[in-house]
Amino acid sequence: MEGTSLLTAFGRAFRTPDLRKKLLFTFAIIALYRLGTHIPTPGVSYPAVQQCMKDAPKSGFLGLANLFSGGALLQLSIFALGIMPYITAAIIVQLLTVVIPRFETLKKEGSSGQAKMTQYTRYLTIGLAILQSSTLITFAQNPGALFGPGCTNILVSDSIPTILIMVLTMTAGTGLIMWLGELMTDKGVGNGMSLLIFTSIAAGFPGALWQIKNQQNWFTFFVVIAIGFLIIALVVYVEQSTRRIPVQYAKRMVGRQMYGGTSTYIPIKVNMANVIPIIFASSLLTLPMMIAQFNTDPTNPAGWVTWINNHLSQGDSNIYMIIYTVLIVFFTFFYVSITFNPEEVADNMKRYGGFIPGIRAGRPTAEYLQYVLTRITVPGAIYLAAISLIPLIAFRLINANQNYFPFGGTSIIIIVGVGLETVKQIEAQLQQRHYEGFLR
């Protein structure tokens, strides 16, 4: 019955003219995005790249960026950089709101301030795209550093005009992706940037599952799928888990009008940091490996280079897992501390006559919120670390590509989170038109 009602709700969504247009527009943008991931950048030998893809990185930030680009990064396509420059720019701008007073002021100005911060994010995205495309092409000139030993000659020419055209093409591709994402947000369904990431990750699911079947057997294949459903259920449960702190607003007279007297709550999610700590941890762990690649002497490597190659270049090593877990826990607390300010929330509640029942307004409220936030962030950090270790453990047990192992890590959190949010938005639009929506 539930499956029938869900299909019926989808049918109603497509029978609603304006909602059907939004859904078809979203699908068209997704199809265009996937097409661009397979168009090679001018100056790249596509057959040579496909041959080198067999030795592509399985861990680190480069593998994570390749995951977010739907495999386009290591194919050096026109959409090679994917949405990663925009994600990085958005995170940097968000972090700068804590450091730069001007950004903090813009954040408090509402829609006008948000529009300016979005513009700054766009400019920074283009700048990062130029930097990242130049770095990627530099690696491509030495394919062994990008794909591993044994890979050579993936560029048709390394002349300056060719390199400039490649940088311009990849940067333009990033700008086009950013525009498509914003267009999808305005005229489609759901958040455009999130849906593009969702599409990139979901595109690797069939190949990842088939790879597991080819490397192992049908029994392992079905066991992985069964475990995957359990992991998805766990992720859905945690992502939907929220601690609701009750807030009561006192009644007050403004002229002849009576305001207040209402009850509401402050929602604090168990996983407030989302996938940001995983991205930070992966990025930080990649830096030593990149430095080691530029300082490695093939005949007589330094001791620290050998240690990095033995313990940090392989994601399934015990030392890598320990450092990775510690970094994820640290960045979870760090990111939550800069995105949720208990003192600011307490001051706003006091300004509008709100209070938590049993807690005095002002500083006691801020201390109580900090206490609750710390206690709820601990299981959130442990949850993120556990989910992110699943692909690494799978890589050790069944030799599956850890960045494309579909049921764990960054991929499953994004897939579930974006999926839930998109379904909620479609359901809300159905309910506005007096339909029952997806959930009864």
Instruction: Give the CATH number for residue 49.
Output: 1.10.3370.10
Task: Give a yes or no: residue 14 inside a domain.
Answer: no
Residue 403, pLDDT score: 47
Q: What is the mean pLDDT of residues 227-249?
A: 85
Quote the CA–CA distance of 247 and 360 in Å, as a whole number. Answer: 12
pLDDT higher than threshold 80 for residue 428:
no
* Residue 69 pLDDT class (50, 70, 90 cuts): low
Residue 3 lies in a domain: no
| End-of-domain residue from the set 154, 175, 203 | 203
pLDDT tens figures, 308-332: 766 666 556 778 888 888 988 998 9
Q: Are residues 89 and 184 in the same domain?
A: yes
For residue 397, pLDDT beyond 60: yes
**Which range marks the domain in which residue 358 is found?**
206-440
Q: Does residue 6 fall inside a structural domain? A: no
pLDDT at 211 over 80: no
What confidence score (pLDDT) does residue 171 get?
Answer: 92
Q: Which of 369, 428, 425, 373 is nearest to 188 (CA)?
A: 425
Q: What angle do the packed helices 363-398 and 342-351 form, to 10 degrees?
A: 140
Query: Is residue 15 one of the residues assigned to a domain?
Result: no
Would 425 be classed as within a structural domain? yes
Residue 121 has pLDDT above 80, yes or no: yes
pLDDT at 1: 43
304 and 379 part of one domain: yes
Regarding whether 246 and 152 lie in a shared domain, the answer is no
- Work out the pLDDT band at 117, boundaries 50, 70, 90: confident
Percentage with pLDDT > 70 across the chain: 76
Distances 267 to 230, 344, 370 between C-alpha atoms, Å: 26, 15, 14
| Whether residue 212 sits in one domain with residue 81 | no
Q: Is the pLDDT of residue 281 over 90?
A: no
Cα–Cα dist 386/247, whole Å: 33
Q: Could you tell me if residue 122 is inside a domain?
A: yes
Which of the listed residues 153, 168, 203 is the one where a domain comes to its end? 203
pLDDT band at 236 (very low <50, low <70, confident <90, very high): confident
pLDDT at 301 over 80: no
Say yes or no: 255 and 358 in one domain. yes
What mean pLDDT is predicted for residues 249-257? 65
Residue type, 55: D
Q: Are residues 380 and 365 in the same domain?
A: yes
Per-residue pLDDT at 261: 63
Both 210 and 199 in one domain: the answer is: no
The answer to whether residues 38 and 86 belong to one domain is: yes
**Could you report the per-residue pLDDT of 127-177, keeping only the tens digit for each?**
989 988 888 888 777 776 666 666 767 777 778 888 899 899 999 999 999
Where does a domain end: 203, 231, 247? 203
Max CA separation in the chain (angstroms) = 86
How many independent structural domains does the chain possess?
2
Tell me the C-alpha to C-alpha distance, in Å, between residue 250 and each of 175, 195, 346, 398, 412: 49, 41, 15, 59, 43
Tokens encoding 336: 């939550």
- Assess contact for 155 and 208: CB atoms under 8 A: no
What integer best gives the mean pLDDT of the chain? 78
Are 102 and 247 part of one and the same domain? Answer: no
Residues 291 and 222 in one domain: yes
pLDDT bucket at 256, cuts 50 / 70 / 90? low
351 and 403 assigned to the same domain = yes
Percentage of the chain lying above the pLDDT 90 cut: 6
| Residue 1 placed within a domain | no
Q: CA-to-CA distance for 302 and 297, rounded, in angstroms? A: 8
Is the pLDDT higher at 59 or at 235? 235
| The residue to which tokens 């590509």 are assigned | 401
pTM for this prediction: 0.75
- For position 3, what pLDDT does the model report? 46
If asked whether residues 273 and 331 sit together in one domain, one would say: yes
Q: Does pLDDT of 45 surpass 70?
A: yes
Give the span between the Cα atoms of 177 and 79, in whole angstroms: 8
